[in-house]
Amino acid sequence: MSVEVKIPAVGESITSGIVSVWHKKSGDFVNAGDALFTLETDKVSTEIAAEISGVLDTIVPEGQEVKIGEVVATIDDSKKAPAAKPAEEKAAAKSETKTAAPPKEKSADAKTASPARTLSPAVRRIVDEEHLNPEKISGTGPGGRLTKADALTAAQNRGASEKKIDIEPATAGPSVGGQLADGRFVRKKMSPLRRKIAAQLVMAQHTAAILTTFNECDMSAVQELRAKSQEAFTKKHGVKLGFMSFFIKASVEALKAVPVVNGRIEDEDFIQNNFYDIGVAVGTERGLVVPIVRDADKKSFADLERDIANYATKAREGKLKIEDLTGGTFTISNGGVYGSLLSTPILNPPQSGILGMHKIMPRPTAVDGKVEVRPMMYLALSYDHRAIDGKEAVSFLIKVKECIEDPKKLPLDF
């Protein structure tokens, strides 16, 4: 009998996703547990596995948006796996493979040959989104296998070649990679994740009364404390002491002082959160994600730094799970790592507040009636004015400033 493959619920507030890539094709025999396809949502990519063994029949194509509960394929469990080749046939095939090319030629061709190249899910996503031909990419992994870095490099190199089109005579027609170019511009489809992020940001602007208030803080005390404690901290905990843990601690103290910033509006109700799950925005080559540091008020500086480091690694490798990204009460975004001096961060719905950190810049400032050059950082708090008044927003930001400029006000546990 045929069993339906439906889009499962993958997290709160997620009602749809995009089938970005099929890992198995119609007519393929799949085993229970095999990855069938990758589902892209506005939060994370999730591989959906087969629940039973049988022959797959896909219903929706790659790139199509689907709703939770929608049937996207069927698996006929009445059909059995094809019979395996006899041992002698396998041995003969293996022998032919070894003698097909001299050793020297094999090392040169291994990176570009392989008619049926096996790609990891992360590499497959990049190849499909960027419309790359994997057979034309040199692999640097074991046995010429394509790595994520190989795919990203190929996409960047192609992007550089596309820029040359802008200064050459225009001749309309398709360009390499299935993209349309007329000499003055190149048109290509946005990636599924980028489209969902775009929709989420527009929704945030349309559903909240977003306002931003600014302040600045002197980073001298934190820099001095960090430099003084770094060696012992790293030796004791096996992780470096960064600035983000200070700002998470300062934000928790500010949220306790101004609780309304830690809440959210739901229909006609206001939900006041009495826990502190802080989202930390992490940039990846595929877009911005916001993993959640759970119970930040109960964690030490070392625990916070470990969580941040682990999430950063998982984000870069595409291994974040949906539970890593849902349920936060407040978010911190650090544009300073990219050189941003000042910005207005956008809310992460349904949260009511987000703190923006920025680049540390030496600037002249008045200290006890004298002008001194200090390492200064601009701070920005964007908030939902429907729930939070200006006085409360300013009070929150001043509390953060006070904790950063006088770290002794934080629960230091080095």
Marked catalytic residue, from 109, 166, 182, 389: 389
Is residue 267 annotated as part of the catalytic site, yes or no? no
- Rounded Cα distance between 385 and 351, Å, is 12
pLDDT score for 13 = 61
What's residue 379's pLDDT?
Answer: 98
Q: Please name the helix (run of DSSP H) or strand (run of DSSP E) that holds residue 216, with its range, or none.
A: strand 210-218
The sign of the torsion formed by the CA atoms of 269, 270, 272, 276 equals positive
CA distance 398 to 209: 22
Structure tokens at 318: 């595409």
Give pLDDT, residue 124.
76
CATH superfamily of 208-409: Chloramphenicol acetyltransferase-like domain (3.30.559.10)
pLDDT, one tens digit per residue, over 243-282 is 999 999 999 999 999 999 999 999 999 999 999 999 999 8
In this predicted model, what pLDDT tens digit does every residue of 269-317 receive, in sequence order?
999 999 999 999 988 776 778 999 999 999 999 999 999 999 988 888 7
Say whether domain 114-181 belongs to CATH 4.10.320.10. yes
Which residues fall within 8 angstroms of residue 172, CB to CB, at 6 or more apart? 181, 182, 183
Query: Residue 262 and residue 276: Cα distance in Å, rounded?
Result: 8
Question: Is 0.85 surpassed by the pTM of this model?
Answer: no
**Domain locations in the chain as residue ranges:** 2-76, 114-181, 208-409
Q: What is the CATH number of domain 2-76?
A: 2.40.50.100
DSSP one-letter string for 326-351: S--SEEEEEGGGGT-S---PPP-TT-
What pLDDT shows up at residue 107? 42
Contact between 354 and 382 (Cβ < 8 Å): yes
pLDDT at 26: 92
Helix axes 390-405, 220-237, angle to 10 degrees: 60
Q: Which residue has 């625990």 as its token pair?
A: 303
The verdict on whether 206 is a catalytic residue reads no
204 backbone dihedrals φ, ψ, rounded to 5° = -60, -40
pLDDT at 155: 75
- Residue numbers of the chain with a pLDDT score lower than 50: 88, 98-116, 162-173, 175-178
pLDDT at 357 (0 to 100): 98
**One-letter amino acid of 381:** L
